[in-house]
Amino acid sequence: MAIAIMCSGGDSCGMNPAIKSFVDYCYEKELEPYFIYEGYDGLIDNKIKKAKHKDVSGILHLGGTIIKTSRSKRFLEEKYRKIAYENLKSHNIDKLVVLGGNGTFRGLHTFAQEFDLSFVGIPATIDNDIYGSDYALGVDTALNVIKSALDDIRDTSFSLKRAFVVETMGRNCGYLAAISAIISGAEICMIPEIKTNLESLEKKLKDELKHGREYILAVVSEGANQTDNLVSWINDKLKMESRSIVLGHIQRGGNPTVYERLMANEFMIYAIDELLKEKTQSIIIYKNSKFKFIDIKKVMDKKQKIDKNILKQLEKMTK
Ligand code: F6P
């Protein structure tokens, strides 16, 4: 039985450990594992090859994905999805494991409505915005990268008595910024999910500055689109020299953490077992320390929300 794996969208740490588990577990179950290289673009271009054990040796510690990924524009067109399906058929592949985020799953959902396909999607995006899942592959490593950056920035912030506004990734979701602000003791956090009360923030920080505060760390999510405004606001209202830094794509790289490697393996074993049971068109999620499968349609229809307790902690910052 042939089964293929593909990564699509932005790469994330944990993809390589998942790819290794895929190949190892397929051989254990006497399945034929295939790699689809370069995401949906590679599927359209028939970049499909049988995977061997040696392809996945020595990759556990690597960020990114050895089978590459893409943000395919062509896959949005039906004529290319037809070619993609024919390529799968030519290798007798009718089962897929797909690693990616919401864009990836949207493409998969459309594909599955048009052609007969069984698949499991594994959340793999540093944005951590897959409906129903507390966690996606890549989030833990990204948070650790941000944590180190904030620890380092604090040194100069402290020494020069400056404010630093640090922008994290997260296209529409403030999860990375929210967690990083909490674990780093930041004074300000701006995310799309919360409207910042600038008046009370000003009052609170002015009071702290009066009583000895010498520097400020602010974490702003890319999705809030407030980095430059906040720098100006700190300069103008708090009269403190401030700088901004956009952490950017370094958040996607690095050495996958212990948690990421363990979760990659768990996700993959559950996903393959599910594919072996019956036809499925689902996303595996991790919720309240349990793995579950949700129909892809439901994942597409709903928006993931940040946990209420996390939001409450952030709201306290401005009180
Ligand atoms: O993979 C998710 C993500 O890193 C988002 O946080 C960010 O908005 C986007 O991808 C950046 O995409 P690209 O690498 O294509 O510029």
Residues 230-281 have pLDDT tens digits of 999 999 999 999 999 999 999 999 999 999 999 999 999 999 999 999 999 9
Helix or strand run (H / E) with residue 94: strand 93-100
Residues 6+ apart with CB under 8 A from 248: 169
Phi, psi angle pair for 304, to nearest 5° = -70, 140
> Does 167 contact ligand 1 (Cβ within 6 A)?
no
> Does 252 contact ligand 1 (Cβ within 6 A)?
yes
> Residue 223 pLDDT > 80, yes or no?
yes
How far, in Å, is the centroid of ligand 1 from the Cα of 198?
Answer: 28
> Residue 195 pLDDT > 90, yes or no?
yes
Instruction: Report which of 207, 215, 210 is spatially closest to residue 160, judged by C-alpha positions.
Output: 215
Please tell me the predicted confidence (pLDDT) of residue 189. 97
Q: Tokens at residue 276, please?
A: 């072996």
Give the model confidence (pLDDT) of 137-177 as tens digits.
999 999 999 999 999 999 999 999 999 999 999 999 999 99
pTM for this structure?
Answer: 0.97
Q: Tokens at residue 123, please?
A: 């959340």
Phi, psi angle pair for 308, to nearest 5° = -60, -40
Which protein residue's CA is at the shortest distance from atom 14 of ligand 1?
10
241 vs 238: CA distance, rounded Å: 9
| Amino acid identity for residue 283 in this structure | I
Helix or strand run (H / E) with residue 4: strand 2-7
Answer positive or negative: Cα dihedral of 185, 187, 188, 194: positive
Please tell me the predicted confidence (pLDDT) of residue 317. 81
* Helices 258-277, 15-28: crossing angle, 10 deg rounding: 40
99 vs 126: CA distance, rounded Å: 12
- Three-state DSSP state, 133: coil
Mutate to test the pocket of ligand 1, among 126, 141, 145, 172 (most ligand atoms within 8 A of CB): 126
- Three-state DSSP state, 265: helix
* Alpha carbon 85 to chain centroid, angstroms: 27
Residues 6+ apart with CB under 8 A from 72: 8, 39, 40, 41, 44, 80, 107
Give the helix ranges, DSSP H, for the chain: 15-28, 39-44, 78-90, 102-114, 139-160, 175-184, 198-210, 227-233, 258-277, 296-301, 308-316
Q: Which atom of ligand 1 is nearest to the CA of 222?
A: 8
SS3 of the chain: helix, strand, coil, percent, to 5:
50, 20, 30
Helix or strand run (H / E) with residue 168: strand 163-168
Please tell me the predicted confidence (pLDDT) of residue 287. 98
Which protein residue's CA is at the shortest distance from atom 1 of ligand 1?
10
